[in-house]
Amino acid sequence: MEKFRANVMLCAGTGCVASGTGKVREALQAELVKRGLQDEIKIVLTGCNGYCAEGPVLSVFPDEIFYQKVTVEEVPKLVEEHFLKGRPYEKLMFREPEKKTAIPLMKDIPFFKHQVLRVLRNKGLIDPEKIEEYIVRDGYQAMAKALTQMTQQDIIKVVKDSGLRGRGGAGFPTGLKWEFASKVQSDIKYMLCNGDEGDPGAFMDRSVMEADPHSVIEGMIIGAKAIGAHHGFIYVRAEYPLAVKRLQLAINQATEMGLLGKNILDTGFDFHLEIYLGAGAFVCGEETALMRSLEGKRGMPRPRPPFPAHKGLWDKPSVLNNVETLAQIAPIILHGSEWYRSLGTEKSSGTKVFALTGAVNNVGLVEVPMGIPLRTIIYDIGGGIRKGRKYKAVQLGGPSGGCIPEHLLDTPVTYEDIVATGAIVGSGGMVVMDDNTCMVGTARFFLEFTADESCGKCTPCRVGTKILLDMLTDITEGKGKEEDIETLQDLGRDIIASSLCGLGQTAPNPVLTTIRYFKEEYESHIRDKWCKAGVCRKLTTFWIDEKMCKGCGACLRACPSKAIIGEKKKPHKIIQEVCVHCRTCYEACKFKSIDILPAGADENTAAAFAAGKGTKEKGDA
């Protein structure tokens, strides 16, 4: 193998590619050639680093210096400083928002500092398109151990003892699932991987499949041995073309090396693996629905029992595991269950990957030990709320989950504690919302999703979600009635009780949790016709507080419907008849001089509101 003085690990995940990895790579290569460094410095394209918002990102090894937001224009300077003069280029380093000092090392950056990488152990360190690089990082050693030194019972025991629970959402113990399937006698069994990541706001599975496809394959081979399966499928969303490409490449390479297919490592064990492209249906994340989809049919769930461990794909015993679950298997086999349990809590062991997005400063993928408080994730890793705004809620678990308010921010992230708040851990989507978010509107957003994605099999889910959606739409449009809140809760509980699968059983969660924690917002929508976040257009009046307005004209220029008038340096005014309530002026104003008032507000309401605001501010001080 050729030796290089340094390796540039350039992120080529979906996020960074969209931010310009391709062009940066070309520029970097050209610059290295120009400086005659092409034989000393090697560019490696890695999978998703997780710090997507700051892309394109790269780190230089062996010094481990981390650069972010790398642009084509900065490349010549970066090469000159770092590789010729040997001094790290500060301009592209991470800086903490308040202190302006640059932080050169990835491990010192707050976003990375609190993370423990097990699932994402290889992120940014290997080229996902080269099996050799995976093997160098202990890849396929666990498989070799499982195939040569362990019995089916040994494998199942280690996984059971580790306490690993399914990372797809429900949190069912993985070892137990494998044990059920291994005990069933059958000529054919199937080992399946669920890569149909459908929760909006979650992208850890995409990231793992793109950054470390072999870790999923290795987990599947070990699982196949444990249950006695010789065929497997990875069900991937068609919307993830890069993941599909890398998985296929990984399967081909593993097969060529004799790590997949017939007689793996001469142990006599066969395992054939295929990729199956999903066609876009949220309900296919449910295991029985996914299996129907694999059979080429409508992906609709069916009652259990019989459980898939007895009758799954083509009525044969089948085990379905999530991508993140499978990526945990190899290290558990290598290092043992005690090692795995050293992190996390008694009932929720190990680490979990969260997709931290929304109104936080640092957006991206984070892997943390289970049991750490939500606050640590949002404030220490996420760097707090964007633009200094106020935290309102964090949405956990996607359309099946719920919104957690500020007073519960110290809740430890474990399956049980999160369920107690009314949300679920789910697949790990964590969307942070600031005070610009309307909670009724958020509930409506999720119901729109589930009403659309309900497969239609169970009437309570098919019709019920639609009724919930209609009622929420009415409320956001000012047509809500006093008794609506109670009806929403009753109907929500009925849908949960009478639906067959996880989709219906959790669909009302967003409504129920927002009513539970933000009831006053529903009430102000219904009673006062007032969306205090200024999101529901029909329940908002934007009003310029003349005492606060500096007459800078920012709102006037930003307004798309020319509804703002006023001279320079004198208070401006919004012509209410022309205003389309788009809130552009509100975002544009730097002096917080625009108030959000109820629908149909006039001078009197505005004066009363301004007076109230004054006393409140004094009270705060």
Partner 1 sequence: MLGEPKILVVDDELVVIKSAERVLKSEGYQVEGALGGREAIMKLGQDNFDLVFTDLKMPEVDGITLIRWIKKTKPSVGIVIITGYPSQDTIKEALELGIIDYVPKPFTPSVLLDVTERAVEWIKGKAPEEKKVQEEFPPAMEAELERVIREFRQKPGSLIPVLQRAQEIVGYLPPIVQKKISQGLNIPVAEVHSVVSFYSFFTMKPRGDHNIRVCLGTACYVKGIEGVVSKIRDTLKIDVGETTENRKFSLEGVRCLGACGLAPVMVIDQETFGAMTPKKALEIIGRYDAAYVSSASAEQAGELAEKEG
Residues that bind partner 1 (CB under 8 A): 14-15, 17-19, 51-53, 55, 197-203, 206-207, 238-241, 276-282, 293-299, 314, 355, 357-359, 363-364, 395, 398, 429, 431-433, 437, 442, 445-446, 449, 453, 455, 560-562, 578, 582
Residue 394: how many CB atoms within 10 A of its CB?
28
Measured CA angle at 556 (ends 553, 559), to 5 deg: 150
Instruction: Quote the CA–CA distance of 523 and 548 in Å, as a whole number.
Output: 29
Residue 149: how many CB atoms within 10 A of its CB?
9
Instruction: Write the burial class of residue 570 (CB in 10 Å: 0-12 exposed, 13-18 middle, 19+ buried).
Output: exposed
Are the C-beta atoms of residues 238 and 277 closer than 8 Å to each other?
yes
Are the C-beta atoms of residues 25 and 43 closer than 8 Å to each other?
yes
Q: How far is the CB of 152 from partner 1 (least distance, A)?
A: 28
* Nearer to partner 1 (CB atom), residue 442 or residue 499: 442
* Nearer to partner 1 (CB atom), residue 47 or residue 163: 47
Q: How far is the CB of 455 from partner 1 (least distance, A)?
A: 8
* Nearer to partner 1 (CB atom), residue 89 or residue 449: 449
Q: How far is the CB of 540 from partner 1 (least distance, A)?
A: 15
Q: How far is the CB of 445 from partner 1 (least distance, A)?
A: 5
Q: How far is the CB of 239 from partner 1 (least distance, A)?
A: 6
Instruction: Quote the CA–CA distance of 222 and 191 in Å, as a whole number.
Output: 10
* Nearer to partner 1 (CB atom), residue 79 or residue 393: 393
* Nearer to partner 1 (CB atom), residue 142 or residue 393: 393
* Nearer to partner 1 (CB atom), residue 235 or residue 340: 235
Radius of gyration of the chain (CA): 27
Give me the DSSP letters along 135-163: HHTTTTHHHHHHHHH--HHHHHHHHHHHT
Q: How far is the CB of 295 from partner 1 (least distance, A)?
A: 4
Q: Where are the alpha helices (DSSP H) in 320-381?
A: 323-335, 337-341, 374-375
Q: How far is the CB of 92 from partner 1 (least distance, A)?
A: 18
Bridge partners, residue 275, by sequence:
234
330: Cα within 13 Å, side-chain hemisphere: 28
Q: How far is the CB of 15 from partner 1 (least distance, A)?
A: 5
Instruction: Quote the CA–CA distance of 492 and 468 in Å, as a whole number.
Output: 8
Are the C-beta atoms of residues 472 and 433 closer than 8 Å to each other?
no
Q: How far is the CB of 355 from partner 1 (least distance, A)?
A: 6
Short-list 544, 518, 548, 555, CA closest to 533: 518
Q: Are strands 573-574 and 564-565 parallel, antiparallel or unpaired?
A: antiparallel
* Nearer to partner 1 (CB atom), residue 194 or residue 337: 194
Instruction: Quote the CA–CA distance of 537 and 546 in Å, as a whole number.
Output: 22
* Nearer to partner 1 (CB atom), residue 174 or residue 442: 442
* Nearer to partner 1 (CB atom), residue 444 or residue 572: 444
* Nearer to partner 1 (CB atom), residue 52 or residue 125: 52
Q: How far is the CB of 456 from partner 1 (least distance, A)?
A: 9
Sign of CA dihedral 203, 206, 209, 212: negative
